[in-house]
Amino acid sequence: MPTVTEVEPMIHVDHLGKQYGERTVFSDISFDVNPGEIVSIVGPSGCGKTTLLRCVVGLMKPSHGTVLVSGTPVVDPPEGVAMVFQHFGLFPWKTIAANVAYGLTAKGVSMKDAAPRVHELIKLVGLEGFEKSYPYQLSGGMQQRAGLARALAVEPGVLVMDEPFAALDAQTRDILQLELLRIWGTRSAAMMFVTHSIDEAVLMGDRIVILRGRPSSIFDIVDVGIPHPRGRETVDTDRFRTVRDYVWRAVMHDEADDTPLPTDADAVRIEPQSHRNMNGHDHG
């Protein structure tokens, strides 16, 4: 697949590892995220998904390995990276419009100059009429819409999402997943999407990085292989079910359980060449 190898990845994670003292959280993690691609990160609770994400965007220093964003090694959070947080991280003393504009005003852009883009984004995420509201006046789902608008306001080349819908109720989560995919269609950044929900990982991701073990490492990277645009009906397709069942078993698989996973692995491969061959990585 020469076309794939020629694309320079937006995010290049190379043998990344993180230790807290004696305890190794994860080790030897390598994968790429290409422009316009969504890569979901799943794994059992406590496997270090969020830690991995924080290392990738430079909020945390990894113990081993390197991360390249747009070809540049990450030390501190680089330019052109935006993040959406599990608990929204909206400033309660700012209005929704001022929160959305934060990435711009914090760099010295005046609220007036930021206004056109802020207005466009508020419209895009469906928050029209709430520009002057404060976060406490909005439901959790609407606050996260604002969180997404704030991230998009800086026109990021890389967007990372740390369990963005985990704090929301099930219905709001369903709505926002599809909303995010719709909004995604209008942008072309590389996205890393950390979630503990396997359904969400399959619905959102073009590829899924499965973390497992203690310390965790990459168990497999799956090509979801469901074309965009995706919608509610996506979850009713055979392909969705196949991938979900495979990821589910991979994540839930107990080390003591001797269910042979390789058989399942074959089921999710779209064609003989897997992503590993495509990107030239070699994972255990």
Name the minimum Å distance from CB 105 to other proteins.
8
Does position 62 interact with other proteins (CB under 8 A)? The reply is no
Sheet of 72-73: strands edge to edge? Answer: 23-33, 11-20, 64-69, 72-73
Does position 129 interact with other proteins (CB under 8 A)? The reply is yes
* Sole binder of other proteins in the list 9, 17, 43, 135 (CB under 8 A): 135
Please identify, using beta-carbon distances, which residue of 105 and 279 lies nearer to other proteins.
105
Task: Map residue 190 onto helix, strand or coil.
Answer: strand
Please identify, using beta-carbon distances, which residue of 33 and 210 lies nearer to other proteins.
33
The token pair at 197 is 């929900």
Please identify, using beta-carbon distances, which residue of 60 and 261 lies nearer to other proteins.
60
List, in sequence order, every residue forming a beta bridge with 40; answer none if it has no partner: 193, 208
* Sole binder of other proteins in the list 22, 23, 107, 272 (CB under 8 A): 107
**Cα–Cα distance, 12 to 1 (Å, whole number):** 19
Name the minimum Å distance from CB 246 to other proteins.
32
**Cα–Cα distance, 258 to 108 (Å, whole number):** 58
Please identify, using beta-carbon distances, which residue of 87 and 269 lies nearer to other proteins.
87
* Sole binder of other proteins in the list 141, 157, 164, 205 (CB under 8 A): 141
Give yes or no for a contact between 96 and 138, defined as CB atoms under 8 angstroms apart: yes
**Cα–Cα distance, 186 to 281 (Å, whole number):** 30
Please identify, using beta-carbon distances, which residue of 129 and 284 lies nearer to other proteins.
129
What backbone torsions phi and psi does residue 206 show, to the nearest 5 degrees? -80, -35
Return the ∠ at Cα 75 (arms to 70 and 80), rounded to 5°: 40
**Cα–Cα distance, 128 to 125 (Å, whole number):** 8
Does position 110 interact with other proteins (CB under 8 A)? The reply is no
Residues 63 to 102 in contact with other proteins, rule: CB under 8 A: 76-77, 79, 81-83, 85, 87-89, 91-93, 102
Total of residues contacting other proteins (CB under 8 A):
33
Does position 192 interact with other proteins (CB under 8 A)? The reply is no
Name the minimum Å distance from CB 231 to other proteins.
14
Does position 159 interact with other proteins (CB under 8 A)? The reply is no
Name the minimum Å distance from CB 228 to other proteins.
21
What's the per-residue H, E or C state across 40-74?
EEECCCCCCHHHHHHHHHCCCCCCEEEEEECCEEC
Does position 164 interact with other proteins (CB under 8 A)? The reply is no
Please identify, using beta-carbon distances, which residue of 151 and 250 lies nearer to other proteins.
151
Does position 182 interact with other proteins (CB under 8 A)? The reply is no
Task: Map residue 214 onto helix, strand or coil.
Answer: coil
Q: What is the DSSP string of 64-133?
A: EEEEEETTEE-SSPPTTEEEE-TT----TTS-HHHHHTHHHHTTT--HHHHHHHHHHHHHHTT-TT-TT-
Chain positions contacting other proteins, by CB under 8 A: 57, 59, 76-77, 79, 81-83, 85, 87-89, 91-93, 102-103, 106-107, 126, 129-130, 133-139, 141-142, 154, 175
